[in-house]
Amino acid sequence: MTSRRAAALRPSRRAARGALAGAALLALVVPLAACSGDDDKVQAFCSAGEDAMTEITAAGSLSDDPQAFADAISDARDQFDEVEAPDDIADSWGVFTSTFAELDDALADIDPTDQEAFTAALQEFAEQADSEDLATASDDLSAFTTENCE
């Protein structure tokens, strides 16, 4: 690989890693596991939410393969869409999941081999991931899961 080509690829890898770092951070901030409560809906949320977060975390290992990364984000979106959040945090879950839906939409609209477009999509996601709404939703989810999930 020429040094020019390597330099051209570095920003996209850096952007991918930044976006994935944000996703991984969110995954850590919202720890989901088996629930301690008796409410079936809460238990189902804890279990399904953990599975959805696992999909996002797994995408982190694919930062050097744009197509695999895009496929993993699409799979994670499907997982998020299947999770039914309890009423107490449904709005927060919606904010959280819509962020990844927007990333999936952005990646679906580009050719993953187009490094410039791929990088731009990831940079836009990284900017959204820093939003106050997402931070608030993440805090709400974290508080809920701390109280209701083990």
The single-letter DSSP state of residue 95 is H
Whole-number pLDDT of residue 5: 30
* Residues 6+ positions from 69 with CB-CB distance below 8 Å: 16, 59, 62, 63, 107, 112
Nearest CA among 18, 7, 15 for reference residue 119: 15
**pLDDT at position 9:** 32
Amino acid at 41: K
Q: Please give the model's pTM, rounded to 2 decimal places.
A: 0.66
CA angle 62, 63, 64 (to 5 degrees): 95
Per-residue pLDDT of the chain (150 residues), as tens digits, is 433 333 333 334 444 444 444 554 444 344 444 444 447 888 888 888 877 777 777 777 777 788 888 888 888 888 888 888 999 899 999 988 888 888 888 888 888 788 888 888 888 878 777 678 888 988 898 888 888 887
Task: Identify whether the C-beta of residue 43 lies closer than 8 Å to the C-beta of residue 150.
Answer: no
Residue 133 sits at the vertex; the CA angle it makes with 47 and 33, to the nearest 5 degrees, is 15
pLDDT of residue 142: 85
